[in-house]
Structure 1
């Protein structure tokens, strides 16, 4: 069995795919992953024996460039075209396609599967992509929703209009060029009738809605056996558990001095700090013996040894911190991150910071709450409820899907 997995996005979009790919390969499947051509993505996939098929521009370069909202349709058109140019050849001979990542890229990958007659699954790593009366859709840059509109059903109808305006022409132009009929509801096409939600049901509980059969598999987690660097271990061993500060793939345009703010806020709480560079290249102007700066590192192992995790609120980081039992302070920057901040606060495992640009005082106050005995005890308790088998569940469901598609129809 051969499976093609396609995405376009940041590390948080690629890391879960490595977890799925590992389980699929353990079950005997051959896996191909189409993703942005960033070196760290290729290295991570290579660790599970999967070669990266590069598609589109560097996700890191595109993120850090912060193109204006007006350029979104142009970039989307390029991403959709890239799916037909690069994903289609990679999907030849495959038995199933898994599509995720940015909506236009997923639309292109699903179109490729449709063209080849291959069964496909649409996957989301957070529920805000899926229409529901219980939450509003995420607004696209440059296309805000009416501030006074609170009816979620109305907002989802507006979302259909926005998505069609941004991506419809590019998608249907490419579909026509490959002999496919036009799509009149791009979001509906991507979501489909039975999307998969690859999140933990405790951290991200899905409430059933009519006409949408959501399969919540649990988060796709790649077990990380990489040892922590010796000098980092020595730092951890030299004192009380520090506070981790890292913002992953975020460019941090709203908080350019975040490294200095975080260092001072953590020191104000009498703690040492582990600072992750991330895509923004976080580093203090002047460090000290109480500050250790890391690059790529095993977060699963590191988070188990820290007192709290200060982060941006990506789905992957939130889940990893929750599994480790670390208290969290979420300083949301964009997209679905405010939602994850709300979930962390609602579960009592941490604090949702108010706004993307903390001050020393505001971050120190948030840390005081996160480091409280009550919050840390709650974080420890929730850790034992977070599932670790999401990738296994998804891999078996995918194998079952292919088996059903292959089964002959009775006369």
Structure 2
């Protein structure tokens, strides 16, 4: 067997089959390119679902991590460390907020946001104990913990994991009327992705997000924006909500915050909201550890220049123009997205999203499918225009074949 076949066979034999990866075995990576165990190079147009916004092996992030590795990597929150205050201060400033509650994974941050909203509802809004409700959108993806999949509408994510956590109401994404009708005195929060990534990069109708902001403000309900995939430069702004001029009550961040080096996530909000916690009421051994803070501080510094957001906007305009030219010819039905992020619905006659992804892999381009015939394109923000065009040419080749 080849090195690729041997590695895949070993993984299949000894790891749970909770993923169905493409049959490529990556050994190294730099920028927007990955190299497999047999020396073949592939253009990465997925970027770890936006965790690698700044590319593989970004020198600034690797240097920041290496310097911190030589000093201290973990103290737990039992003690202070010398990177924590700077991380919280700088991230709060980037978000124009006041307080940060750091965690590790995106799912942990969403769980933290849920707990925060409930505690705020009981302590501040005066909702009767045990009656707090959080409204979410259909086709959402916020993680895979038991609580989070309890309000998923994806059968693959939800089936066979009951009994499910109560306290959530699901309304159609983009439907302000349904949202308004679902609100009661016991509603404490609305949890929304400004753009639904896993659902196929779904952009809501114009005016929807400002409408959510207006409704939540009127009804004394928290607006929680899950910007784990959409935030930190991906859409051409620091946050996707900025395109609509909207500021939420709470940001949920992750993925790119750790630069693809370490898992870093956070809930960022006001002192009035995050101030509901007292010592011992919530925490994480690794949340806000020195290594994570060092890397995230460098990510924040990079975003402060605005160059990555500008690059995502300019290359994103180019990406969507080129993808738009593929529609109407029978191969591509719809293209959606914003910035360097696109969901491409392939005509079913050409194959499933998985089959198109496999054909692109043979052309040395890596993407990932979702929901049948959709492929997602989300390259690192550092990709060159020439490399992006090369990848788009490979996509044209696959579709024409």
Relative to the length of structure 1, the TM-score reads 0.27
Higher relative contact order (CA 8 A, sep 6+): 2
Which one has a larger percent helix, Structure 1 or Structure 2? 1
Relative to the length of structure 2, the TM-score reads 0.27
